[in-house]
Amino acid sequence: MLSKIFIMYYLKAFLNSFYKFDWLHAQADNSKKAANYVILLILLLSFVTSVFLSTIVPNKLRDLRNEVLSKVPAFEATLVNGSLSVTQLEQPFLYEDAEMSFGVNTNTSTEDFNFDTFVEGKDKDILYLTSSNIYSYDSVTKIKNVLDYDKEINKSFSKESFIKFTDNFLNNYKLFFAIFLIISFVGFSVFKLVNLLFITLLVWIINKNSETNNFKFSQIYTIGLFAITGPSIIVAFLRIFNYSIPFLYSILSIMILMIVTSKKYSSLELEEKNIETDILK
C-alpha cells in the first residue's frame, strides 16, 4: 500500500511538473522528495536514451566498418612483441573520405614517420598504424595521441577474423545498453544539477531585486528539481528527430522558475502540499 502511494505521488509529480505552476510553488520546502524525484527523472531519461542509442549506434558503427573495409583488400596482420606487420596489403595504404582518414604503413618506423606533418591541413579524424605505434587525431578537439602496442600481446588476425570479432561486439546490444545507461546517468546528473545551480542563482538574484516572493536559494533549487521535467522531455523529444535549439533547455527552465516564483502565487493555498506530506510521513 505504501509503495503504491509513493508511485502515485511521483507519477503525479511528473505530470504536475509540466504545467501546474501552483503545485510547483508548493514544493519549495519538499527537498527530500525533490531529490528522490530528480533521481527517478534522470533514470527515466537515461533509460530512454540508452534504448535509443543502443539500437542506433551499433548499426552506424557496422555501416562505417563495412564502408571502410569495402576499400580494404584481404590482409593478414601479426602483432609480436609490440611490433605490427601486415601482409597481402599494398603499403602505404590510405583510405579517406569527407570525415575520416585511415592509414597503414608497417614498413615505416616511428623515426621515419612524422605524424604532425601528416595531420597538417587535414580537418578530419585520423587513425594511422605503423609497425610500432597507433596514431590518432580528433578533428574537433585537435588532440593527437600516440599509443604503443602491448608487447605482451602476440596475435595474428585477418580481415575475415576482424569482421567476425566486430560482429560479435556490435551484436551485443545489452553491453551497449549498459554502457550508454551508465554514461547517460552520469552525464545527465552532472549537467542538470550543475546547470540548475546557475539557473537558480540567476532567478534568486532577480527575485532579490524585485517585488516577487523572497524565496531562499535552496527553495528555488528545490522547485527547479521538479521544474526541469518539461524542458528535459521537450529537448529529448527534439533530439530524437536530430533537431536542436541552442540553450532551449536553460531558457525554458529559467522561464518556468520565474513564473513559479512570481508574485502571482504569493497567496497560494498549500492544502494539497499538506495532504501529501501527511500521507508520506
Q: What is the pTM of this model?
A: 0.71
Q: Within a domain: residue 221?
A: yes
What is the count of structural domains for the chain?
A: 2
- Reduce the secondary structure of the chain to three states and give it as a string: CHHHHHHHHHHHHHHHHHHCHHHHHCCCCCHHHHHHHHHHHHHHHHHHHHHHHHHHHHHHHHHHHHHHHCCCCCCEEEEECCEEEEECCCCCEEEECCCEEEEEECCCCHHHCCHHHHHCCCCCEEEEEECCEEEEEECCCCEEEEEECCCCCCEEEEHHHHHHHHHHHHCCHHHHHHHHHHHHHHHHHHHHHHHHHHHHHHHHHHHHCCCCCCCCHHHHHHHHHHHCHHHHHHHHHHHHCCCCCCCHHHHHHHHHHHHHCCHHHCCCCCHHHHHHHHHHC
Q: Within a domain: residue 257?
A: yes
Q: Within a domain: residue 253?
A: yes
Q: Are residues 148 and 185 in the same domain?
A: no
Q: Are residues 182 and 248 in the same domain?
A: yes
pLDDT at 208: 81
pLDDT at 279: 45
Q: Within a domain: residue 186?
A: yes
Q: Within a domain: residue 187?
A: yes
Q: Are residues 255 and 192 in the same domain?
A: yes
Q: How confident is the model at residue 110 (pLDDT cuts 50, 70, 90)?
A: low
Q: Are residues 141 and 202 in the same domain?
A: no
Q: Are residues 111 and 244 in the same domain?
A: no
Q: Within a domain: residue 38?
A: yes
Q: How confident is the model at residue 268 (pLDDT cuts 50, 70, 90)?
A: very low
Q: Are residues 191 and 274 in the same domain?
A: yes
Q: Within a domain: residue 160?
A: no
pLDDT per residue as tens digits for the range 146-201: 888 887 778 888 888 989 989 999 999 999 999 999 999 999 999 999 999 999 99
Handedness of CA 175, 236, 37, 13 (dihedral sign): negative
pLDDT per residue as tens digits for the range 215-258: 889 999 999 999 999 999 999 989 888 888 889 999 999 999 99
Q: Are residues 110 and 141 in the same domain?
A: yes
Domain carrying residue 41: 2-56+174-280
Q: Within a domain: residue 108?
A: yes
